[in-house]
Each structure stands twice: as C-alpha cells, then as structure tokens.
Amino acid sequence: MSLVEMALDKLRGAQARAGKSAPSNPPRQVGSLVDTGAHRRLDQIPDSGKLIAIDRDSLRMSGFLPESGFERRLADQFRQVKRPLLAHAFAEGSGNERLIAVASALPGDGKTFTSINLALSLSREHDVSVLLVDADVAKRHVSRLFGAAEEPGLLDALADPVVHPESMVIRTDLRSLQLLPAGKLCEGATELLSSARMAEISLALLARDPRRIVVFDSSPLLITSESRPIIDTVGQVVLVVRAGVTPRQAVLDATSMLPSNKRVGIVLNQSLTALSTNYYGHGDYGADTPAAG
C-alpha cells in the first residue's frame, strides 16, 4: 500500500469542518488596484506600475483567512507545509524547485485557499520573495479576488513572444509578495500553456531574483487540460486533498497523472486532527518521493 493510500485510509473517518474554508466562487474582492506608474527595476525592465492593497478583513470574511483566534494555528500548519518546499527550493544543485504548483483532483478541495495562504506564509520569510501566478486561467479566482481580473497577465505573455512577463507583475502592499494575473482568456489556452514559451516565461520569472519562489495556482487535474503543462513546468507540486470529501479514487487518479520526477506533497485541507507526524497538514506519496513533511 502506498503512502497516499495509507493517508487516505486515515482520512476516511474524518469529517469536514463546518462551512467551507475555500469557496469555489469568492463572494467579494479583497484587494484594490492602484496605478503607481511603471516601477523600473535594476535591469531596466519595469513591472506593471500597479499595486494591490490587500484587505485582510475582507480576505477573512471571504473564507480565505480564519477568524482571528485561529490565525496562529493556521500559520503553524502552513509553516509545516512550507519548510520542506523551501528546503528543496534552495538546496544545492536544485533546478526548477523554486517553481511550485498547487493543484487538486477536483474543484472545491481548497486549492486556491492553499495557494493564497502558502504564498502569504512564504512571503513572511526573510530573504525570500514570492510571486503568486494565477494559472487557473478558466476560473481566475486569484485574479478576481485581488481585483486584477481585467489586467494583462500569464496568457497575454504566452501569446506575445516579445513582451516580458515581468512587465505584467503587480506588486502588493506586502513587501515580499507579488501577483501575475491570469490575463485575457482566449481560445487555445491549453496550447499556449503547453508551448515552449511557457518554459521560457518560467525561467524568466526565476531569473528575476535568485531568492524568488513562484507559486502557481493551477486548475484541478481531473476536469481540465490546462493543469498538466503547469505540472510539467514546475519542480514541486502540492496536491490539496479535502479531508473526508475528496473521493479516494479521485486522489489516486490525480496522483497517477503526476510525473515521477516531481517532488510531490499532500496538503490535507479541513482535517480535524493530525494524522501523524508525517501527515500533519503536509505529507508525501509514493515510495520513491523524497521526504517533504
């Protein structure tokens, strides 16, 4: 029995928390966009010149942050999630491990909730910068949530080989956190994501800053075709499983789609209790997967 099957066995009796921690359709916008003028960097490539002011109260009311009394607990859980990701990202000889995809088997598992909170947690690290990329191009939950749904982004950079993706990056009022929106939805999005340009953009985003981590909010693996090229591009994958809700077979089918050369961890969303030291919030599947939890 693989580790993911063992984890799923332990999850079978778990009950979901009351309410949803990651609404599939965010009810409100939690960020306001301000045009500050092009912000030119040392290499003379400007960013979008815009800034997002994040309203944490709205983020909490939308279900993407817990009530104030539970913030410390959530912060501790995401510290456990990010530690192995950071270790692999900055390990000697690491390649594209600074590119991290957050995926799920099905909608409603808490993928976007996890992407946002992982990015927020990583941004609190000293000497680390975080770029959150909305790569769920069909739903664009992250872009909508932060008020950037109409801004150019990933798809626009993919469609235009001349434009530098950094020119579409939007700063936030958190010093170490930036956003690349999904961009304008177009026909052939899967083909754009599968193109050589995607790898070129990913490398360009990494080259911007040797301490940058890029977190892709990907689409669900089992119902879209856009997620696979994202998975193929990154070095690490976080698979979100909603405890007691995500069907066992769906998780097994999703994990079977993940390349064997990727570092993969499982986040147990809405788990009532710690399963074990290896599965508290984040664990690994497969006997050949390096330890990450």
Task: List the one residue out of 56, 90, 63 whose CA is nearest residue 209.
Answer: 90
Secondary structure of residue 263 in the 3-state scheme: strand
Which tokens is 227 given?
């997620």
Q: What is the pLDDT of residue 244?
A: 86
State the Cα–Cα distance between residues 265 and 7, nearest whole angstrom: 12
Instruction: Please enumerate in sequence order all residues whose Cβ is within 8 A of that of 137, keeping only pairs 6 or more positions apart, or say none.
Output: 154, 155, 182, 183, 185, 189, 193, 219, 226
Residue 271 has a pLDDT of 65
Name the 3-class secondary structure at 184. coil
Strand order in the sheet with 99-104: 31-35, 50-54, 170-172, 177-180, 129-134, 212-217, 99-104, 236-242, 263-269, 282-284
Give the architecture-level CATH label for domain 3-13+75-284. 3-Layer(aba) Sandwich (3.40)
At residue 106, the pLDDT reads 95
φ, ψ for residue 188, nearest 5 deg: 75, 25
Euclidean distance between CA atoms 98 and 88, whole angstroms: 8
CB 180 within 8 A of CB 132: yes
What residues does 132 pair with on adjacent strands?
179, 215
Say what the pTM is: 0.81
148 Cα distance to chain centroid: 17
Measured between alpha carbons, how far is residue 247 from residues 36, 47, 56, 189, 256 in Å? 46, 42, 32, 28, 14
Residues 6 or more apart whose Cβ sits within 8 Å of residue 62: 23, 26, 27, 28, 30, 145
Instruction: Write out the H or E segment, with its range, that includes residue 144.
Output: helix 141-145
Walking along the chain (293 residues) 10 residues at a time, the average pLDDT comes out as 48 42 52 62 67 90 83 89 95 89 95 95 96 96 94 96 94 95 91 95 94 97 93 95 92 93 88 43 31 26
Q: Enumerate the domain spans of the chain.
A: 3-13+75-284
